[in-house]
Amino acid sequence: MAAFKVFLCDCDGTLTDGGMYYLQDGTQLKKFSVADGIGFELLKARGIKIGILTGEVTPIVEHRAKRLKMDFLHQGCTPEGKLKALKDICAQEKITPAQVAYVGDDVNDLLVLECVGFKGCVANAHPHLKALSGIVVSTKNGGEGGVRALIDLWLDNPKVLKS
């Protein structure tokens, strides 16, 4: 098994609860889990690069990525755009998709999930993701520590980090 070098995930529905919250003036809000953020810090402490591939384009996600010192942020991605971003990251890092972990929540994540080494989804993911061969389903929902639960599982598996 190739050692994992990069951990990527979707944002809305994966790092958030998928809700779209708006104030009266139109300002958008998103709820992120602190537990997920700590999970990303644990990955970075082990030298694993982290990032987000998302269909949305919003300063909120950019702010969250900066706060977590993410190595990669690709916004405005179609499903094909997420796959291209994955390939670009692999080329930049001189790794294969087999050395990448990815966590998503909906069908727009399928193209990426089908080619990475670790496939994960949050507990409330779309049934098509849960049916994907080799997928690991989190015990928690998106926005409620679902990514952290997978990171903990991932880091607790000695085969994952083996060179």
120-160 pLDDT, tens digit per residue, is 999 999 999 999 999 999 999 999 999 999 999 888 875 65
Share of the chain above pLDDT 70, in %: 95
- Looking at residue 157, its pLDDT comes to 74
Which amino acids are annotated as binding site, given as ranges? 10, 12, 105
Domains of the chain plus CATH, in order, are: 6-161 (3.40.50.1000)
Nearest-angstrom CA–CA distance, 23 and 59? 16
DSSP 4: P
Q: Which of 65, 39, 43 is nearest to 52 (CA)?
A: 65
- Looking at residue 60, its pLDDT comes to 95
- Looking at residue 2, its pLDDT comes to 55
Which amino acids are annotated as binding site for substrate, given as ranges? 12
pLDDT band, residue 1 (cuts 50/70/90): very low
Which amino acids are annotated as binding site for Mg(2+), given as ranges? 10, 105
pLDDT band, residue 163 (cuts 50/70/90): very low
The amino acid present at 16, given as its one-letter code, is T
DSSP string, 93-160: HT--GGGEEEEE-SGGGHHHHTTSSEEEE-TT--HHHHTSTTEEE-SS-TTTTHHHHHHHHHHT-HHH
Nearest-angstrom CA–CA distance, 152 and 16? 18
Which tokens in the block code for residue 19?
A: 């809700």
User: What is residue 80's three-state secondary structure?
Assistant: helix
The overall pTM is greater than 0.85: yes
